[in-house]
A and B are shown apart, each in its own frame.
Chain A
Amino acid sequence: MIYRIRHTTRYDYRVPVDYGVHLAHLIPRPLPGQRVIAAAVETMPALSWRHDGVDHFGNAVAWLFLDTPHASFEATMRALVEVAFAPPPEAWATPPWEAVAAAAWRGGAGAWQAAEFVFDSPLAAADPGARAYAAASFSPGRPMLVALLDLIGRIRAEFTFRAGVTTTATPIAEVLRRREGVCQDFTHLMISALRGLGLPARYVSGYIRTRPPPGQARRLGADQSHAWVDAWLGVEHGWVGLDPTNGLIVHDEHVVLAWGRDYDDIAPLRGVILGGGEQSLTVEVELEDASPSANPAAAPA
């Protein structure tokens, strides 16, 4: 699948801001299974300085500086991305989850990078409640992916997607008690549960297609930034993307922006401003099917 993405973030300030610096994790990450055909970030007003780099997790990151007074700031990312992630291994053929935990703890060749995602992070520390919730899916000796699919199925069935009831500051225990929230909450909940079991799990930020495949229900979390979980299946099988909000294995409906330990590591755009008074934030996301088959008229010859 090829997608055309537009992601606009706009801050409007009541009083002009004298100075602002923003950290952007907005450029889709090239991956096996994800080809970034084109991607760029444009801003209004124009930047006074920009620095591009790669962060600790290997994501593209940009520092955006504005040092003249401005009443609003808008950053728009446009990209054309082709995705076709390889299907996961047969679930029953993956190692028992305890073996995955042991390999991560040992670290060393093949495992040391995954091991980072076992440890607590500010927004996704191991939580006893989350661990207890997940334990029902992780019976002794169960193959890792079997247990994971069971877990995302339960989250999809038992939690209600509802915007506006949580914020980035809502604790995992609260999400667990309410049984509702948005994709970010479910993602942090699942990461916290897996870490509690000693299993590596990372936060993936990105997008899901706006219009569902023909004949299927509209996906939850479309038209905005989306988030899901990468879970580690051990040295042999590596990582698999799992979307607990939609109960899906990530295949060709998702586009990956970046990954980290939790949202804080890779927020698409965050900044520090000086001055400015109150502010309002508007975010718009579009993910259109740009495959030649989807719109033959627009396809290049």
Chain B
Amino acid sequence: MAHDEMVDGRGGMRPHWRGLLGVLAGLGQAVLAERRARLERILAEEGVGGLLPGAPPDRWRFDPIPLPLSGAEFATIEAGLIQRARLLEAVLADVYGPQRLLAEGVLPPALVFGNPGFLRPCRLDPQMPDDGLMQIYAADLVRGEDGAWRVLADRTGWTDGLAQALENRRRLGRVLPELFASGQLSPIGSFVEVWQERLQRLLPARTGERGSVALLTAGHAHPGWYGHVLLARELSCALVEGGDLTVRDGRLLLKTLRGLKPIGVLLRGGDGRGIDPLELAPDGHGVPGLLGAARGAVRIVNHPGSGFATAPVLAAFLPALAARLLGESLALPSVPTLWLGEAAAREQVRDAPDRWRLRPAFSARVAPVAADAAPAAWRPALAAAPWRFAATEAMSPSAAPCLGATGLEPGPVLVRVFLIADGHGWRAMPGGLGCVPAGGDAFWPASGPILAKDVWVLAETPEAIFGPPASEAPRLEIRRAAGDLPSRVADNFFWFGRYLERLEGGARLLRITIARTAQPAPAPHELAEITLLADCLIESGLLDAEAIAGVSQTGLAQALLRAAGRAGALHRRLTQVMQVSGQLRDRLTGEMHAVIGRGLRDVEEALGRVTTAHPGEALDSAAQAMARVLAFSATIAGLAAENMVRGGGRLFLDLGRRVERAQAVADELARVLDFPGATELPARVEHGLRLALELCDSSITYRARYLAVLQPAPVLDLVLADEGNPRGLGYQLAAARALLAEIAGSGDASLALRAADLSEEAQAMARDVAAAPDQARAALRLPARLRALRDAVAELSNGLSRRYFALLPPARRIGS
């Protein structure tokens, strides 16, 4: 019988469950189900899921029913884990140091030299930190049938879940505040503050610059990426990728907009084996020379070699190691473990195969299997090199109530507890993460979906009673001066702006064109306008020239609807926006992220509803979809203006929009002034002018200023020169100049000067037309200048990329 967390052996409720269960019963199943749905919704909106096409979905799901532990019980667990942390640190210090354990035969050679987690480049480091190779440690625990906790896994390298635990506690406080009113819950927020402080103290005390703390992630394609985003936010540290960093003069430097900034403490968000392609795995996501820097001024947390102690087989030796290294016996034992390198152990497993499960000795990522059901791939190694395997005793985890379809249902639970070194010793976070393993295995899966629970530690002394977690306010977001922004992030913001604008511009162009093709019997000048608009669409890649060559007006309308629909060119632009906004997840507020996510889903739905079937409906569906795109784009612009700190990412977001719109406007104006037969019939310039106003959304303004008379000079003044018209070219260039000047600060302002020249050229074009005796002919001479201006804006954008974004080129390994 599995141990029951809630009910004792005589059918009575355990005292620490009473308060919680009373609240749950009071709420009732319907309310709980509704609250769970809210929790799921928050997760979908604020999490990584759904935003980033191709990215692995977020593996974390949360059950709203917490798992409470009494304060006394948790104190025992904490004491046991602190002892284990000290022990594992001592093991690591010896294995990466003098190796006395090997010389004395306490550890067999296979356990160290056969363990792929033993990283030889990390050994005998003259700078070996005297305050230990671990700063954070987590353990997975299981409660057996006898009611005693045992350790399933020691996570000495990198472990996920800490940020999720904090985040989940806050979310639970939002959706189920009633639960928190009941009790004596120990808060967990201060744990992170202690750690943050500790990391600050680890910064090397060098004269002049101390550097800062950063978290190294393998990027948004890595399954742990979202956890990294959350953790970096909790710790208020930079989230960086290998390509953002470089080692120079023995220091680790982050490439930012204002040059290279030193990093003093690097938290690693993945396996230690991937952090330096020079000395370790050449295919990792790390930084060449990082281990060299770690021998000097940089501290890597945890030490890259610390993953050594995650080998499941080590559990078989821990009692002996505790006796040898600490002179103590192990207070919180592991699940019974055997090393199959020993003949006696193999016999034990052979004699009682039901009792044991087999697993690779050195990989904690592979789930144990029944001893008589080893996969075929293991068998040759099991026979030839049994030392590569371990056996752990089969366990049935204790059961705790989870929210099911009809009420509370018992589910198996494992518990992960996190500990940090605070400079004086170890301390555990008073709480943790529960996991309801699929299939009831006593194994916390390394990949795939996880149903997690909030673990509560109930304080027992009145002084320790705290209120609901509402006081644990989410941390402040984007507050960086532009200069400290990593180049990669600035690049992402810039492209976010460009893609958004490309999406909006496409929708505008399609909307205008589709409306015109809807006319039943277009006049000749209307036909000419449609041709010009189709050219604009082809030029910008929204229509395929070959597909519409020689088609009728109906055929063109169909092509336009396809371009606007689910599988069309506009949808591809939407995908680009989704991709880059997903990569900016760590730089956007939760609210902004949620709004963007919801907006993107709405737009995607609207595009999906564009039909080509019934002419009447089709037009309406397309018009609605395009309106949705424009509304979305406006929302983002408004949000950015209202919500984002001026400076940093927002400057680049704005700049991206200006650069993209300037190119589009210049290109479209060139096209509408370049219609067939222009030289013979300059009077037809009127059609072009009308389109120009419409494309720049300036018809109403024009009418208000000049009534309905269309003349080249006033039209071109409005769309080219007027710096107050947010849809005109003059505005884009003036804004780009101002943004570039602000980004440059007191630095090199040559890009802003180039933008000023372009701005002046737009003014000059409008002036030249106004001063010409024949305005129409003068206007028709502009396309070449407009195209040159468009190309100059593109060149300005390239210059911007080279100046601010140029990432380090990809690293390649070479050898003699």
By a beta-carbon cutoff of 8 Å, the part of chain A in contact with chain B is 9, 11, 18-19, 21, 23, 48-49, 51, 53-57, 63, 65, 67, 104-109, 111-112, 115-116, 118-119, 168, 225, 265, 267-276, 279, 281, 283
Contacts and interface: CB of A to CB of B under 8 A. Distances in A.
B99 A112 contact: yes
B448 interface: no
A9 B815 CA distance: 10
A116 B809 contact: no
Given A11-B814, A269-B815, A109 B105 contact: yes
B289 A21 contact: yes
A10 to B, nearest CB: 10
Contacts of B248: 48-49, 65, 67
Contact of A268 (B108, B250, B816): B816
B811 A273 contact: yes
B278 A116 contact: no
Contact of B292 (A55, A63, A115): A63
20 contacts: A55-B121, A56-B120, A65-B247, A65-B292, A106-B105, A108-B103, A108-B104, A108-B105, A109-B104, A112-B105, A116-B113, A119-B109, A119-B113, A168-B815, A268-B816, A270-B814, A271-B278, A272-B814, A274-B812, A281-B816
Of residues A18, A270, A279, which shows the largest number of chain B Cβ atoms within 10 Å of its Cβ?
A270
A267 B815 contact: yes
A272 B292 contact: no
Contact of B289 (A55, A65, A269): A65
A9 B816 contact: yes
A180 B812 CA distance: 30
Residue from B114, B289, B811, B816 having most chain A Cβ neighbours under 10 A: B816
Pick the 7 closest A-B CB pairs, nearest first: A115-B109, A108-B105, A270-B815, A272-B288, A107-B109, A56-B120, A21-B289
Contacts of A275: 809
Interface string B272-283: 000001110010
Contact of B815 (A57, A109, A115, A271): A271
A258 B153 CA distance: 38
A250 B761 CA distance: 79
A113 to B, nearest CB: 8
Contacts of A109: 103-105
Contacts of A23: 278-279
Nearest to B248: A67
Interface of B: 99, 102-105, 108-110, 112-114, 120-121, 123-124, 126, 246-250, 277-279, 282, 288-289, 292, 295-296, 808-816
Contacts of B278: 21, 23, 270-272
Contact of A112 (B102, B124, B288): B102
A107 B815 contact: no
A112 B248 CA distance: 38
A9 B110 CA distance: 37
Nearest to A107: B109
Nearest to B125: A53
Contacts of B121: 55-56
Nearest to B807: A274
Given A23-B278, A275-B809, A105 B109 contact: yes
Contact of B124 (A19, A56, A269): A56
A271 B813 contact: yes
A94 B253 CA distance: 55
A272 B813 contact: yes
Nearest to B100: A112
Nearest to A19: B246
Contacts of B123: 55-56
Contacts of B288: 21, 272, 274
A270 B120 contact: no
B112 to A, nearest CB: 8
Contacts of A107: 102, 105, 108-109
A276 B112 CA distance: 39
B809 A118 contact: no
A57 B121 CA distance: 10
A11 B278 CA distance: 17
B323 to A, nearest CB: 17
Which among B113, B277, B295 has the highest number of chain A CB atoms within 10 Å? B113
A269 B816 CA distance: 6
Contacts of A268: 816
A106 B104 CA distance: 11
B815 A55 contact: no
Contacts of A54: 124
Given A19-B808, A104-B109, A119 B249 contact: no
Given A56-B124, A112-B109, A274-B810, 16 more contacts: A21-B278, A21-B288, A23-B279, A51-B295, A65-B249, A106-B108, A112-B99, A116-B109, A270-B814, A271-B278, A271-B814, A272-B277, A272-B811, A272-B813, A274-B288, A274-B808
B120 to A, nearest CB: 4
Nearest to B385: A126
Nearest to B815: A270
Contacts of A18: 808-809
Nearest to A11: B814
A18 B247 CA distance: 13
A272 B113 CA distance: 27
Contacts of B246: 19, 67
Given A21-B292, A119-B114, A272-B289, A49 B120 contact: no
Nearest to A269: B816
A51 B250 contact: yes
A273 B289 contact: no
A273 B126 CA distance: 26
B813 A270 contact: yes
Nearest to A260: B120
A77 to B, nearest CB: 12
Contacts of B112: 116
A265 B123 CA distance: 13
B722 to A, nearest CB: 45
A51 B296 contact: yes
A268 B816 CA distance: 7
A17 to B, nearest CB: 9
A89 B430 CA distance: 63
A270 B816 contact: yes
Nearest to B113: A116
Contacts of B292: 21, 51, 63, 65
A65 to B, nearest CB: 6
* Residue from A63, A267, A270 whose CB has the most chain B CB atoms within 10 Å: A63
A265 B814 CA distance: 14
A118 B124 contact: no
A20 B126 CA distance: 24
Contacts of A111: 109
Nearest to A276: B812
A233 B66 CA distance: 61
A271 B288 CA distance: 9
Contacts of A118: 109, 113
A43 to B, nearest CB: 14
Contact of B247 (A21, A57, A105): A21
A168 B815 CA distance: 10
Nearest to A54: B124
A206 to B, nearest CB: 14
B816 A267 contact: yes
Contacts of A57: 120
B120 A265 contact: yes
Given A51-B292, A63-B289, A225 B816 contact: yes
Name which of A9, A57, A107, A272 has the most chain B CB atoms within 10 A of its CB.
A272
B291 to A, nearest CB: 9
Contacts of B282: 272
Given A49-B250, A65-B289, A279 B814 contact: yes
Contacts of B249: 48-49, 65, 67
A118 to B, nearest CB: 7
Determine which residue in B109, B124, B295 has the highest number of CB atoms from chain A within 10 A of its CB, and name it.
Answer: B109
Contacts of A272: 277-278, 282, 288-289, 811-814
A267 B109 CA distance: 25
